[in-house]
Amino acid sequence: MIAATAHAADGAAVEGTVTLPAAGAAAALTQRYQLKGGAGMAAPEPPTAVVYLEGNFTLVTNPPPTAQILQQGLQFSPSLLPVQRGTRVAFPNRDPLYHNVFSYSKPKRFDLGRYLNEEPAPSQVFDQPGLVKLYCEIHEHMRASVLVLETPHFTRTTTNGTFRLERLPAGTFKLKAWLDEKTSLERDVELKAGQTVRVEFGAK
């Protein structure tokens, strides 16, 4: 469903909801992975989706800002990170033990090795579009994804599935909702300056 309303801010806007999948079962924390002081593993993040506008946009000469994925509570946070192609992502370790980040995904293959929280956070530039799956070589339950996009217009939904994109160009585009590597929904949207288009992405 698509609807348009007046909007006072500069440019066009899109808002709406995405029907998200149910949360999966939390991984069990073994004694091997117990944090110092008896602290337990943080709960995995609830599912979210990435909503983005697809189209031919003016290239920006400045590089995108640096992003980060924390390793905290024996989890990656956020577990889903959308970035524009060319973004540098840092991986700070906030746990009192060794972590590691690696990926065998085609758009970006790397292995940062093991490092402690007092060491400088290593980083990688994600320069090819696509899905990059992240793992920790030490803690096999840890999972995260970096979705590298060509567009500068994207956002991650809330855990309730709501989203809003602002300061968009006028024109006709495809609005896409990426839920996982097997599920991507799309709608054609016509954007006009000063208007907000509302889009509801139902379950596929």
pLDDT in tens, 105-139: 999 999 999 999 999 999 999 999 999 999 999 99
Three-class DSSP category at 32: helix
Instruction: Band the pLDDT of 56: cuts 50, 70, 90.
Output: confident
Structural domain including 5 reads 1-57+152-204
Please check whether residues 138 and 165 belong to one and the same domain. no
Domain termination residue (choose one: 150, 180, 196): 150
Please check whether residues 81 and 138 belong to one and the same domain. yes
Please check whether residues 38 and 68 belong to one and the same domain. no
| pLDDT for residue 156 is more than 70 | yes
pLDDT digits (tens, 9 = 90+) for 159-200: 999 999 999 999 999 999 999 999 999 999 999 999 999 999
Mean per-residue pLDDT over the chain, rounded: 88
pLDDT score, position 39: 55
Report d(CA 202, CA 54) in Å as an integer: 19
Please check whether residues 42 and 113 belong to one and the same domain. no
By mean pLDDT, which of 3-12, 57-66, 102-111, 132-141 is the weakest? Answer: 3-12
How many structural domains comprise the chain? 2
CATH number, domain with residue 96: 2.60.40.420
By mean pLDDT, which of 26-30, 76-80, 162-166 is the weakest? Answer: 26-30
* E strand spans, the chain: 2-6, 12-18, 50-54, 67-68, 70-72, 75-77, 80-84, 87-90, 99-105, 108-115, 123-126, 130-135, 143-149, 154-156, 162-168, 171-180, 183-191, 195-201
